[in-house]
Amino acid sequence: MTLRTEGRRMHPIRSRLIAILVACTLPLAATALAAPPADATPQALQADAAPAPAPPVPLLWKVSDADNAIYLLGSFHLLKPSDYPTSADIDAAFDQAAEVVFEIPPEALADPATGMKMLQASGYADGRSLSQVLAPEELQQLDALFRASGQSVASVEAYEPWFINLSLVMGMSQAMGFNSAHGLDQHLIARAAEAGKPTAGLETIDAQLAALDGMPMDEQVESLVEFVQDPAQAQVELGQMHDAWRQGDTGVLEALAIDEMKTRTPESYRLVNVARNDAWLPGLQAMLDARSDEDVLVVVGAMHLLGEDGLVDKLAAAGYAVERVCGACSAD
User: Do 192 and 199 contact (CB within 8 A), yes or no?
Assistant: yes
What are the phi and psi torsion angles at 63 (to 5°)? -115, 125
Residue 65 lies in a domain: yes
Q: 89, 326 in Cβ contact below 8 A?
A: yes
Residues of the chain with pLDDT under 70: 1-17, 21-53, 330-332
Question: What pLDDT does residue 112 have?
Answer: 84
**Residue 163 and residue 157: Cα distance in Å, rounded?**
11
In a domain, 5, yes or no: no
Question: Is residue 2 situated within a structural domain?
Answer: no
The three-class DSSP label of residue 301 is: strand
Residue type, 170: M
Please indicate, yes or no, if residue 8 is contained in any of the structural domains. Answer: no
Does residue 9 belong to any structural domain of this protein?
A: no
Query: Is cis: bond before 85, omega within 30 of 0?
Result: yes
Domain that holds residue 93: 16-123+159-331
- Half-sphere exposure at residue 102, Cβ-oriented, CA atoms within 13 angstroms: 30
149-196, pLDDT tens digit by residue?
Answer: 899 999 999 999 999 998 898 889 999 999 888 999 999 999 999 999
Q: Which pLDDT belongs to residue 8?
A: 36
**Rounded Cα distance, 211 and 209, in Å:** 5
Residue pair 16/265 in contact (Cβ under 8 Å)? The answer is: yes
pLDDT at 53: 66
Contact 30, 180 (CB under 8 A): yes
Residue 6 domain flag: no
- Is 137 within a domain? no
Position 249 in a domain: yes
List 75's β-bridge partners, or say none. 301
- The total number of structural domains in the chain stands at 1
What is the greatest pairwise CA distance in the chain?
61
**Residue 100 near residue 94, CB atoms below 8 Å:** yes
Q: Torsions phi, psi of 207, nearest 5?
A: -65, -40
Distance of CA 142 to the CA centre of its chain: 24
Q: Among 200, 188, 208, which residue's Cα sits nearest to residue 283?
A: 200
Report H helices in 98-230: 106-109, 113-121, 130-133, 136-147, 161-175, 184-195, 205-213, 217-229
Judge if pTM exceeds 0.95: no
Distance of alpha carbon 197 from alpha carbon 112, whole angstroms: 23
